[in-house]
Amino acid sequence: MKVLLYTHAFAPKVGGVETIVMSLATGLATQDREGPILVTLATATPRGDFDDSSLPFRVVRQPGLLQLLRLIRAADVVHLAGPCFLPMTLSLLYQKPVVVEHHGFQAICPNGQLLYEPTRTPCPGHFMAGRYGKCVRCNARNSLLRSVSSWLLTFPRRWICAHVSSNVMPVQWLSIVLGLPRATTIYHGLPALAGPNLPAAVSSPPTVAFMGRLVSTKGVAVLLRAASRLKTKGLSFAVKIIGDGPQRAQLEAQTQVLGLAERVTFLGYQPDAKLREVLSDVGTIVMPSLGGEVFGLVAAENMMRGLLPIVSAGGALAEVVGDTGLTFPPGDDEALAGCLERVLRSPDFENRERLRARERAMTQFVASRMVEEHVALYQSLVMNGQGACQKS
Sheet with 38-43: list strands edge to edge.
58-61, 38-43, 2-7, 77-81, 98-101, 166-169, 183-185
Q: Which of 120, 123, 313 is nearest to 221 (CA)?
A: 120
Q: Is the Cα torsion angle 110, 112, 115, 118 positive or negative in sign?
A: negative
Element (H, E) at 60: strand 58-61
What CATH number does the domain located at 2-189+367-383 have? 3.40.50.2000
Domain spans, the chain = 2-189+367-383, 207-364
CA 87 to each of CA 31, 76, 124, 178: distance values in angstroms, whole numbers, following the listed order: 26, 14, 29, 20
Q: How far apart are CA 312 and CA 317, in angstroms?
A: 7
Residue 35, pLDDT score: 77
Q: How far apart are CA 128 and CA 274, in angstroms?
A: 43
Residue 199, pLDDT score: 46
What is 207-364's CATH superfamily?
Answer: Glycogen Phosphorylase B; (3.40.50.2000)
The answer to whether the CB of 137 falls within 8 A of the CB of 118 is yes
The answer to whether the CB of 205 falls within 8 A of the CB of 238 is yes
The domains spanning 2-189+367-383 and 207-364 adopt the same CATH topology: yes
Residue 216, pLDDT score: 86
pTM listed for this prediction: 0.90
Ranges of residues in the chain with a pLDDT under 70 are 34, 193-203, 386-392
Please state, as a whole number, how many other Cβ atoms lie within 10 Å of the Cβ of residue 201.
8
Q: Which of 115, 119, 96, 120 is nearest to 104 (CA)?
A: 115
Residue 392, pLDDT score: 47
Q: How far apart are CA 309 and CA 287, in angstroms?
A: 8
- C-alpha 30, offset from chain centre: 24
Residue 272, pLDDT score: 85
C-alpha triplet 336, 339, 345: angle, nearest 5°: 135
Residue 309, pLDDT score: 97
The answer to whether the CB of 237 falls within 8 A of the CB of 208 is yes
